[in-house]
Amino acid sequence: MRVTFLGTGAAGGVPLYGCHCPACARGLADPAHVRRPCSALIEHENTRVLIDAGLMDLHERFPPGSLSAIVLTHFHADHVQGLFHLRWGKGERIAVYAPPDAEGCADLYKHPGLLAFQRLAKFEAQRIGTLSFTPLPLVHSKPTFGCAIASDGGTRFAYLTDTAGLPAATQEFLQAWHADGMALDCSPPPQATAPRGPNDWTMALAAIGQVRPQRAWLTHIGHDVDAWLMAHPQGLPAGVEVASDGSSVTLSPRAERHQG
């Protein structure tokens, strides 16, 4: 299973408009440090699934027929705004799986155009080509699902944005599931008190420690996380990486699961 982090930014991205912090200055000077809306492409054999649609150039990146489906974590603008352009296209409809959210975002439900919205249900696996997506409830200000993604080859990858810690049922599912890889959001750097909003650095690392995936990536990164990491280059524990836009990883199933 191949995972490509297409975008790894928190809402506002890096560089943040008008910000002069070291991370935003670096992002302005070097495109390698730009963070666009948080999203990922999951590929296995001929199946290609886009998770979240916040990038504004989806119509250029994914010509007609190149995606098996889109899976949305939730309907905040930075995760769906690319759909507003895509929907007026021509050709085959595109399946868009989404959590049950009666509001959606703006008039997407009213005028779906090319988009064929389908509702996900928590813990009910949805088959897409050679992949299965099990929606995992997260803690956010809108109904939000992470995904436990399994390939027919036996690889398991959990993609979890946006959340403030993990609900008990989701944590239990993941602890029993033994992910080969896991991506989790981390918007602000370590806060003095646990934030009510999305994961800060401390909460994100605590959740990874509870789930114990083989490898972990932080994504949905705020500019102040980047600035904090520039000041604390030793801040990352072993086995945890910070994803960057365009980076790809090929995951294989862990050996012990085959034996057991």
Binding site for Zn ion (CB under 5 A): 16, 19, 21, 24, 78, 162, 223
β-pairing, 126-128 vs 115-119, is unpaired
Shortest gap between Cβ of 98 and Zn ion (angstroms)?
14
Does an H or E element contain 158, and which?
strand 156-160
Shortest gap between Cβ of 193 and Zn ion (angstroms)?
21
**What are 161's two structure tokens?**
């944005």
Q: What are the angstrom distances between the C-alpha of 218 and each of 10, 87, 181, 225, 239?
A: 11, 30, 11, 10, 11
With contact defined as beta carbons under 8 Å apart, do 152 and 130 qualify? yes
DSSP 241-252: EE--TTEEEE--
Write the burial class of residue 158 (CB in 10 Å: 0-12 exposed, 13-18 middle, 19+ buried).
Answer: buried
Shortest gap between Cβ of 128 and Zn ion (angstroms)?
22
Cβ nearer to Zn ion, comparing 21 with 116: 21
Cβ nearer to Zn ion, comparing 17 with 255: 17
Cβ nearer to Zn ion, comparing 20 with 110: 20
Identify which of 114, 153, 124 has the alpha carbon closest to the alpha carbon of residue 2. 153
Cβ nearer to Zn ion, comparing 19 with 41: 19
Does an H or E element contain 185, and which?
strand 181-185
**What are 151's two structure tokens?**
């390939």
Shortest gap between Cβ of 27 and Zn ion (angstroms)?
8
Shortest gap between Cβ of 223 and Zn ion (angstroms)?
3
Does an H or E element contain 76, and which?
none
Shortest gap between Cβ of 250 and Zn ion (angstroms)?
26
Cβ nearer to Zn ion, comparing 156 with 223: 223
Cβ nearer to Zn ion, comparing 151 with 161: 161
